[in-house]
Amino acid sequence: MTQDNRESWLNRVAAGMAPLFEALDAPLPSRVRVAIGFTSAGRKGKAIGECWDNRLSADGHFEIFIRPDLAHAPDAMPSQIAAILAHELVHAAVGIPAGHGAAFKRIALGLGLVGPMRATTPGEAFLAAIVPILDAAGPLPHARLDTDGESTAPRKQKTRMLKCECATCGYTVRTARKWLEQGPVTAKLCKMAI
């Protein structure tokens, strides 16, 4: 089945994983919202996924975000995003205050996620369990966002003009640090060095 957008694909994969969570006595909350977007640290942050507590959502949903600039290989992307989604769903299932502690670890390992709990990766068991779920969800309607090049953010100012004001006459001028290093600026009105 082909999904119309990334969010419907993510929700279908999350719904497909629900029985895996139930088998581990950690049912998923009924109110979970999933999106592909930058985490709270923005484009320069290192987190690849983030789950916000339902207490912070106006309508009581757990809010999950997965970075749009992951997976250089398109064929690896669905399983990578599914593994990140599973990690964040574990947070929703055990509650955000549990962190990456014992309750989180029990569910994550039960799902087949491996590695340090703060940065789990898909193990063989997870990859095997997720195949039918990914097949049912169909192709992921997403392409990697290349954030290494241009940005839509406004360009940062590279030069800082320094304000120089004469205490005597009030003459004001802005100049670069480079010119101040050459010598003082002279006020045009009183001819004093600023």
What does the pLDDT read at residue 10?
A: 92
Break the chain into its structural domains and give their ranges: 6-137, 158-194
**pTM of the prediction?**
0.73
What does the pLDDT read at residue 144?
A: 73
- Per-residue pLDDT 10s for the chain (194 aa) are 666 788 899 999 999 999 999 999 999 999 999 988 877 777 667 788 899 998 998 899 999 999 888 766 566 688 999 999 999 999 999 999 999 999 999 999 999 999 999 999 999 999 999 999 999 998 887 767 776 666 666 777 677 888 889 988 889 999 988 888 888 888 888 888 88
Residues 109 and 94 sit within 8 Å (Cβ to Cβ):
no
Q: Which CATH number is 6-137 given?
A: 3.30.2010
What does the pLDDT read at residue 151?
A: 64
- Six-digit token string for 50: 């983030």
Name, in order, each residue with C-beta under 8 angstroms of 150's C-beta and a sequence gap of 6 or more.
Answer: none
- Strand duo 172-176 + 161-165: pairing: antiparallel
What does the pLDDT read at residue 103?
A: 95
What does the pLDDT read at residue 125?
A: 96
Find the length of the chain: 194
What does the pLDDT read at residue 16?
A: 95
Q: How many CA atoms lie within 13 A of 8 on its CB side?
A: 9
- Strand duo 62-66 + 49-52: pairing: antiparallel
